[in-house]
Structure 1
Amino acid sequence: MNISDVRSYFPILNQEVNGNPLVYLDSAATSQKPIQVIEAVDKYYREYNSNVHRGVHTLGTKATDGYEGARDKVRKFINAKSTQEIIFTRGTTTALNTVAASYGRANLQEGDEIVITYMEHHSNIIPWQQLAKATGATLKYLPLQEDGTILLEDVRKTVNANTKLVSVTMVSNVLGVMNPIKEITQIAHSNGAVMVVDGAQAAPHMKIDVQDLDIDFLGFSGHKMCGPTGIGVLYGKKQLLENMEPIEFGGEMIDFVDLYDSTWKELPWKFEGGTPIIAGAIGLGAAIDFLTEVGLDNIQAHEHRLAVYALEKMSTVEGMTIYGPKDAAKRAGLVTFNLADVHPHDVATVLDAEGIAVRAGHHCAQPLMKWLKASATARASFYLYNTEEEIDKLVSGLLKTKEYFSDVF
């Protein structure tokens, strides 16, 4: 599939917003869905809607095949060893909370240390805050360089024999920084710590090989990678998951129930309580098929070209502050910025009047906003369906924003 033909598969892009063609630059928040995913979910509900694992009738068997088939697609997508290592969750947030509540509470105690960074999404901060409070462990933060990047020397200084868990985002949802996960994992393991990775902003845009990275846990969300909302993945090494207790009880995760005790199913089902997210998993499987056909290498190269172009064009706007690395080779396909003295919400409002959708606010990263000395920022994030022409429209909209507020004040 040619990257230039990709837009034709996204029906939502063929519309006007406020009298202008839609320019959707908010894929870091959620991506749009190709027709292949929409049709896969629609087909499930129209043709074989049924619960999984329970019935022996035709619809139940077909639904189970679709659900478990999606699990194997995820396994191949991230190169996990076994489908037993693939847990379906509601999203990245649930995946990270599961690690904290199950693995963390059973293995950490007072005097232990948890290491994260200032650039983390709230979903990769609060679970560790709560774990530290519950166990008496200490939460530590890796320092950042001026451009928001991490030095491996600082990782070596921060991670030590007391460190039991390191959790780092693979790609920052604000700075666009791509972190050296493989090297950080090696440092964590050399000190006896497990490595947790927030892959929400990485999985849609680049290849992830969990065996090559040697990470212990990975969480990511379907809705940021052309899949439905409400579905995500927790990957964990089998030996770790086998020794972890489930945190939700009932339904699909049960093996046998007695009056005063119960037993759980084997992996991966012991972590999937209740009726599973069947349609979501089938939709995620279709999204993986789509992304695989386009090619993750092609997607990453396309987004890199857009990032280079955006940094060049946006830097020409007077009063523009761009956060994160100035070198596009060090960042993913998003640009977070502030425009002169105009509040980011006002920037987003004026751009919306031009049909341009960007994000404004703290991006669920308030500690990073404090580190940046900014109460809020605006963010334009790119995906496989965006074009250089859309970035030109963004820059034109930013110039109109400046002109509008210069007239107001």
Structure 2
Amino acid sequence: MTTVTRFAPSPTGYIHVGNLRTALMNYLVARKAGGSFILRIDDTDQERSKEEYVDALKADLEWLGLSWDREERQSLRLDRYEAAAESLRSMGRLYECFESPTELDLKRKKQLNMHKPPVYDRAALAATEAQKEAWRDEGREGYWRFLLDQVRIEWTDGIIGPISIDAASVSDPVLIKTTGQVLYTFASSVDDIQMGVTHIVRGADHVTNTATQIQIMQALGGRPPEFAHHSLLTGPQGEELSKRLGALSIRDLREGGIAPEALLSMMARLGSSQPVELRMSLDELAEGFDLGQFGAAPTKFDPADLIPLTRARNHHLPFSAVADRVAKLGIPAAQAEAFWAVASKNIDKLDDLGQWADLVLNGAEPAVAPEDAEFIATAMALLPEPPFTATTWSEWTGAVKAATGRKGKGLFMPLRRALTGMDHGPEMADLLPLLHKVRAKG
């Protein structure tokens, strides 16, 4: 059987790192097996779904290199859901309810006060047709629940392992709202069967949904896919991350200079027994991907950990990948590749290239300690005018050493500070030939 996975976002906002983790896991399962990866837009909530978010999530996936084999939209499949609903009604597995939200809330509170689980009591099953008509005459609108078989629902999860949930401990799920809107639990069950989805990886917060969806799929004559529920992300101290996920959108991380390879490398390994290591291609990530290596415990995520991965990725980039960016900084073509060779080892993000271009083209404000002022004046007098060559640094420092008697750190560090304004950076022998201007010369 061909492996088929799907990523099914609701276009009600920008996708974040939690969404990416789900998308990437499903993508890698399909790619490793030579299968198919579906992008399904779960847009049955027409009030909250917006086309701008569809466009944004596609742009994010394309930036990451996560291509899909086909696209589906739930809003174009409403007739399929109605047909499935009619099938369930004919079996007596879909029943109409009329309780208001207030009445349901009162029932839940009463059950909790009695130390009972707040499970729907199925009162609607006892309502006669006359009673239903009376409620409609009052202006009430019905909604529809799926009648669960109150047995244990069991499956072997690809990450958590064996799971057993007593359906009697779960409320019959609402599948269709009073507005007629088909809810996620139902639409996804229909789609996953009809689209031939074989594997679903999603967050651990969906475990109960999975139990009810297994019964819905079976009632519709379908074979449930293999499920795997990955751990949820927390902050670096174990704090709840969900409230911060909006600030961790892929869109904002991209604009903040985080490299796609850094994000993918982290999300493909975070929460597993495998170390997070930079991988420059999705093929590399897929080759070593194994759901069995992941644990169920909450997983700590620190956005700061993306910086060293981004730095490492930038070190691996060939000049051809950044040639246009370097040219836009004003670096002459003859120096561009040498500039990248030097700067790439001294940046966290590609946007940091701007400060190195400014140093090369305009020089840096000298950092000269009072005790080094006379030494720097002597040294600058010995420095030839640009352009500098590959031997200028060694020749110049040799001359300065002979003239002042300084050597080692006492010689080289003040010269670096005078030329770059910094204590650390590239090898000066490599950087000096790139400098167009030295402010310390006056």
How high is the TM-score relative to the length of structure 2?
0.26
How high is the TM-score relative to the length of structure 1?
0.28
Higher gyration radius (CA): 2
**Richer in strand (by share):** 1
**Richer in helix (by share):** 2
